[in-house]
Structure 1
Amino acid sequence: MSFAPLQNDTFLRACLRQSTDHTPVWLMRQAGRYLPEYCATRARAGSFMGLATNVDYATEVTLQPLERYALDAAILFSDILTVPDAMGLGLSFAQGEGPKFAKTVRTEADVATLAVPDMAKLRYVFDAVTSIRKALNGRVPLIGFSGSPWTLACYMVEGGGSDDYRAVKSLMYSRPDLMHRILAINADSVATYLNAQIEAGAQAVMIFDSWGGVLADGKFQDFSLAYTKRVLAQLKTEKDGVKIPRIVFTKGGGLWLDDMKDLDCEALGLDWTVNLAKARAAVGDSKALQGNIDPNVLFAPPEAIDREVAAVLESFGPPHQGAGTGPTHIFNLGHGISQYTPPENVKVLVDAVHTHSKRLRTQG
């Protein structure tokens, strides 16, 4: 499978801690409900899963934000819950509601039926990756992704989203053995899934540990981080001689940077509660850092967005320039973009990242 040569490799270079002429920017959930064109495509698809499982629609919505904004990467349009769906849990999305599973995983018998799913059931994802990569035509790199083993387990045990994580934490505390079995299967499933995305054309992969931050200290290391490590240990690190960067994002994970700095990955994503200068000092120069402006900054007037972008870039400090490798930054939100975000404000943010990051390099 051959693809067009990459025209803008700024994001990949930053992931690999190489010098770039500006700080690359992409946004979590950049293809989503804040865009009217996305809403129109979703309406044609009839449902969220109708959108995510249709290769042409998934390709269309992945590229939509790139038509509006000078983003430095595209991210596969999919959902983090495709893997448990392929395990037979029956994923659905009601209009205006979050995801729901028809079956939960809470008992010994439930866990006994779990296995790494047949990747043929996820063929629509891999076909979408290849389709998107071709449609990008080398414009920017394509990021593949999955939920982390712990985050997937939260949804699988709870049966959907949760305010208090009562079911999953009850299982963790009362039957840690069962929880570890779920997480081991999830980790092996995620690794297989991400490797298949890499084979299909993903040029970087990201693990979203969206709910790692709800765990107590000690439990995070045992039930989330250990299984993220198990995924990373199995991931392909290159394809056709080209390095495939791996990014790990734990929402609420700023407390545990000391534990995460030695992860076998290229970049760590940070939420908006973390100071980038302190994170850079804590992590050292072993990882690129990704983040971390508060998504709600996008509801402020343009001049405030511009000011806050500059503040985030300045808090990271001067990135590496010249030969070799050193500290680098990938600009992103501290979590996903809100569906209520004014689309024109996203342009202000993206343009401000490029303008200010170029200015800071000439000053440095």
Structure 2
Amino acid sequence: MKTCFDLYPNRQLKSWPLWMMRQAGRTLPEYRKLRKNFDSFFKMMLNPLLIAEITMQPLRRWDSDAAIIFSDILLPLADLHGANVSFDRNFHPGVSFVDSDPNFIMDKSAQMHWTHLSAVLEGMSLVKSKLTEGQECIGFCGGPWTLFGYCIGKSAPLDWVYIINQIKQLSITEQNSWKKLLIWLAVESLLAQEKAGATQLMIFDSWTSFLPAELYEDWIGNGLIEIARELRRVGSVCPIIVYAPKYTHKIHQEYNQYVDIVACDVSVDMSVLQPSPIVLQGNFNVNWLMESQHNIEDHVIKWITSLKEPVILNLSAGLNPETPLENIEKFVTTVRRQTQLLSRSRITVE
């Protein structure tokens, strides 16, 4: 059984591993300064030097154990045949296809050329060269259900009532064809990121909170988890992280042999899952970072002391753009202090 220290060996006996979802970008003034030079979020993801710079910015501010590449889960879709992916000034994405037949799209995309993702891959290689020993480089993709939602919903904010009604009108064959396409795309994009320097791979199925229970096996067991199965089948050696809100407990119980790390959303009491056969990641309530620093410290102490064993410390969701920087700093320093104290006390006991 792996522990978080097997995945982050340099942290052993010092403090628990830490990084934050959406740590690169929107909360940082240095990012916002760069953002003003571009009329499109999409264009920012086509510049390898910029990708590397934005990815590294939070590591200069905070003691983070991992860099997560500056990109977007929808970017690989742009390299499919006949696909159009766009982002408006408010970062709202839109996805459309010239042809809506997933089998046709897959046939035409079989010899994948990463016209858009190539910049991220180059940026990842640059990031890897800048990291210190022990810092991980995380590549990621979107999960099948989430990507399918954007393909069906066409533009954000997504209307999940409409999307689910549209999905129910599709035949099982049509749904499976879309799922096959999106699994293939995810696997290919993650393998490319591993080759470019990623040392961990994360699958964000962020919208599974809207996945009906009756579709769980179709889109989690035979969707999200199929990505992990296929990665292992073709020889990927990177630890695999999955994030699927609402279904953390079921994945942890039913599919722990296929993934290395399960990222927990705010609804999960991680202590209930411990001792755990796989590594847990998460899940400090991101909304608590908007409170006073005194409250943040109290929340961190209660959260960490409730855990029976070390985890990869992270948030329940991505950082809010309005989060005060001093509150993030308070979170990081308190986490480091508390886990160092716990590590030392355990050494003393042993």
Q: 1:247 aligns with which of 241, 246, 254?
A: 241
Amino acid at match of 1:358: Q
Deviation at 1:110, TM superposition (A): 3.1
Local SS of the residue matching 2:201: strand
Written as runs of structure 1 = structure 2, the 5 A alignment for 1:254-333 is 254=248, 256-257=250-251, 259-280=253-274, 284-317=275-308, 319=309, 328-333=310-315
Deviation at 1:187, TM superposition (A): 0.4
Please give the alpha-carbon distance, in whole angstroms, between the structure 1 residues aligned to 2:183 and 2:37: 35
Local SS of the residue matching 2:35: helix
Local SS of the residue matching 2:105: coil
Aligned residue in 2 for 1:49 = 42
Deviation at 1:89, TM superposition (A): 2.1
In terms of mean alpha carbon deviation, does 268-277 or 246-255 score higher? Answer: 246-255
Amino acid at match of 1:335: A
Please give the alpha-carbon distance, in whole angstroms, between the structure 1 residues aligned to 2:251 and 2:114: 36
Contact 2:139 2:202 survives alignment (8 Å): yes
Aligned residue in 2 for 1:34 = 27
Percent identity over the alignment is 27
Deviation at 1:20, TM superposition (A): 4.8
Q: 1:76 aligns with which of 52, 56, 69?
A: 69
Amino acid at match of 2:262: L
Amino acid at match of 1:295: V
Written as runs of structure 1 = structure 2, the 5 A alignment for 1:215-254 is 215-235=211-231, 243-254=237-248
Local SS of the residue matching 1:24: coil
Aligned: 1:338 with 2:320: yes
Please give the alpha-carbon distance, in whole angstroms, between the structure 2 residues aligned to 1:237 and 1:311: 41
Written as runs of structure 1 = structure 2, the 5 A alignment for 1:122-133 is 122-133=117-128
Contact 1:15 1:245 survives alignment (8 Å): no
Amino acid at match of 2:305: E
Please give the alpha-carbon distance, in whole angstroms, between the structure 2 residues aligned to 1:227 and 1:362: 42
The gaps in structure 1 that reach 5 residues or longer are: 1-9, 320-327
Deviation at 1:164, TM superposition (A): 3.6
Please give the alpha-carbon distance, in whole angstroms, between the structure 2 residues aligned to 1:342 and 1:138: 29
TM-aligned CA distance change 1:11 to 1:119, over 3 Å: farther
Local SS of the residue matching 1:44: coil
Please give the alpha-carbon distance, in whole angstroms, between the structure 2 residues aligned to 1:237 and 1:205: 15
Q: 1:136 aligns with which of 131, 143, 151?
A: 131
Local SS of the residue matching 1:32: coil
Q: 2:200 aligns with which of 204, 212, 217?
A: 204
Contact 1:180 1:223 survives alignment (8 Å): no
Local SS of the residue matching 1:316: coil
Amino acid at match of 1:136: L
Root-mean-square deviation (CA, aligned residues, Å) is 2.5
Q: TM-score, normalised by structure 1?
A: 0.85
Local SS of the residue matching 2:202: strand
Local SS of the residue matching 2:149: helix
Contact 1:119 1:193 survives alignment (8 Å): no
The gaps in structure 2 that reach 5 residues or longer are: none
Q: TM-score, normalised by structure 2?
A: 0.88
Amino acid at match of 1:142: C
Q: Deviations over 1:128-182 (max 9, x none)?
A: 1111111225461110000111111111111123454134312332223211110
